[in-house]
Amino acid sequence: SQQGEEDPQALSIQEGENATMNCSYKTSINNLQWYRQNSGRGLVHLILIRSNEREKHSGRLRVTLDTSKKSSSLLITASRAADTASYFCATPLYSGGGADGLTFGKGTHLIIQP
Amino acid sequence: SAVISQKPSRDICQRGTSLTIQCQVDSQVTMMFWYRQQPGQSLTLIATANQGSEATYESGFVIDKFPISRPNLTFSTLTVSNMSPEDSSIYLCSAADTGELFFGEGSRLTVL
């Protein structure tokens, strides 16, 4: 069953603005990952945040994790047209962690208007 | 990071036929997985491809419908058997490397 739930399901913003997507999950995890998918192609791994981390940065991406609220957020700053894609959060399917398959949320479809 | 190649990238198939998708990883990986993404939906794990033994299937997926092979640490195949239009999806191969999961470009199947 899917554990992660992203919101919003769709987001449209102007180029240059910041985009924030949220993900909630149900059970305890030891890590959470964010992926991007362009037009039904393969997924690109963006960032992994471990349960003992509260925030992580990678370029224009900032991910936060609040294990007490079982939620994570992905912030894309200074958005570009190329950021248009679907974004998924994913958590380990079982409790084993990194070697497990993942369960994915339904995704947020982000559209950057030029 | 692992680089994953899948083929075919897309195919149009007739109802009742079977198709085998190949997945090649550029390095040895411990874990390989197969996912399905139905139109407009998120990804669902079909099975874990185990090297040298039978795949481990998730609830709702069975070996007769989705036989999987994994003869070594860099290669796996997924067969979609006796296809129906409901099997029209993107099928993605993935590999776990250092705790992160990397994906191939996917194989988009359309069943008529």
DSSP states along B31-94: EEEEEEE-TT--EEEEEEE-TTS--EEPTT--TTTS-EEEEETTEEEEEE-S--GGG-EEEEEE
- Spell out which residues of chain B touch residue A43, defining contact as CB-CB under 8 Å: 43, 92, 94, 103
pLDDT confidence band for B90 (50 / 70 / 90)? very high
pLDDT confidence band for A102 (50 / 70 / 90)? confident
Nearest 5°: the CA angle B99, B102, B104 is: 160
- Spell out which residues of chain B touch residue A93, defining contact as CB-CB under 8 Å: 45, 58
Among chain A residues, CA nearest to B99: A98
From A33, A48, A101, residue closest to B45, measured CB to CB:
A101
Domains and CATH numbers, chain A: 5-113 (2.60.40.10)
Burial of B52 (0-12, 13-18, 19+ CB in 10 A): exposed
Check A33 against B100: CB less than 8 A apart: yes
Tokens 């497990």 correspond to what residue? Answer: A100
Domains and CATH numbers, chain B: 1-45+53-83 (2.60.40.10)
* Structure token pair of residue B71: 């003869």
Check A40 against B106: CB less than 8 A apart: yes
Which residue, among B33, B43, B45, would best test binding to A if mutated, counting the most A CBs under 10 Å from its CB?
A: B43
What digits encode the pLDDT tens for the residues A17-74?
Answer: 999 999 999 888 889 999 999 986 788 999 999 999 999 999 999 999 999 999 999 9
pLDDT confidence band for A5 (50 / 70 / 90)? confident
